[in-house]
Amino acid sequence: MAFYSINKRLRGERTVYSTSVKQKNKGKIVFSKSKTFTSRSSALKWARGLISQLEADETNLTAGYREVTFGDLIVEYEKYKAKSNRPLGRTASFTYRIIRNYPISQLIASKIKSHDIVHYCTARKESDSQPGPATIAIDVSVIRKVLRIGKSLLGVNCTQQPVVEAYQALYDLKLIARSTTRKRRLEGNEYDRLLAFFEQKEKHRSTVIPYRAIFKTSLATCLRISEVTSAYFGESD
């Protein structure tokens, strides 16, 4: 259900009308937009027009498809992939787990707008981990993936269009970027210190991971961590 509110305010010597349009689904706000006008008639026209558009979109888009939150869509997608012959990789699984902890996961998937994507990326950048643009770009990529195939794969009303529309703003704000070649190399006695650290971890009674072997192999082969950990060390010399 969509509804609007108009509040009369003074801005300097002028009277303005602050107008807000919101839409609820199962008690949760799934859409919110505000705008300020200099006349009440203009405010009413905009609010009523937007509500008509929202109601028309809801009628056209939801026919035959389910409405679920973005977080629930991710969970359904993860379960489906886990049963398939192409399960999610380590990076995608970790990224989806992060996304489910942000407000965007509470939005109805079909109601996600481009500014919701931008707000998510801004929040990610300002989080404690402070991920770089290349990492946030991975987030955007997996968000787009599940929104792109959610309708055909799971029968959920969703579309990748909000992500497509958000790209220009994301690049303009430098929130996302392509990954760059890493030039960092071990310096001084870092190699020996890391080996000593991994040796201590291996001595723990509950540890079964060959940390030192993984570390040495990754340095020698430049393989991704997922590629190294999927190898059978018993078959190597």
Q: What is the CA radius of gyration of the chain?
A: 24
Are 59 and 74 members of one domain?
no
Q: Do 74 and 29 lie in a common domain?
A: no
On whether both 56 and 143 belong to a single domain, the answer is no
Residue 15 lies in a domain: yes
For the chain, the domain total comes to 3
In a domain, 178, yes or no: no
Q: Is residue 202 part of a domain?
A: yes
Q: How far apart, in whole angstroms, are the C-alpha atoms of residue 189 and residue 153?
A: 51
Identify the pLDDT of residue 71. 96
Residue 159 and residue 148: Cα distance in Å, rounded?
A: 6
Is 148 a domain residue? yes
Which residues of the chain register pLDDT less than 50?
none
Domain contains 237: no
53 and 142 co-located in one domain: no
Which range of residues forms the domain containing residue 15?
2-63
pLDDT at 236 (0 to 100):
58
pLDDT at 78: 96
Q: Which of 173, 198, 213 is the last residue of a domain?
A: 173
Alpha helices in the chain (DSSP H): 40-62, 70-83, 90-99, 114-125, 133-154, 161-172, 190-202, 211-221, 225-229
In a domain, 235, yes or no: no
Closest listed residue to residue 134, CA positions, set 177, 77, 195: 177
pLDDT at site 41: 93
Cα 45 off chain centre by:
34
Same domain, 48 and 75: no
Query: What per-residue confidence (pLDDT) applies to 125?
Result: 94
Question: In terms of domains, do 108 and 23 share one?
Answer: no
CA distance 55 to 2: 7
**Is 51 found in the same domain as 104?**
no
Please tell me whether residues 90 and 123 are part of one structural domain. yes
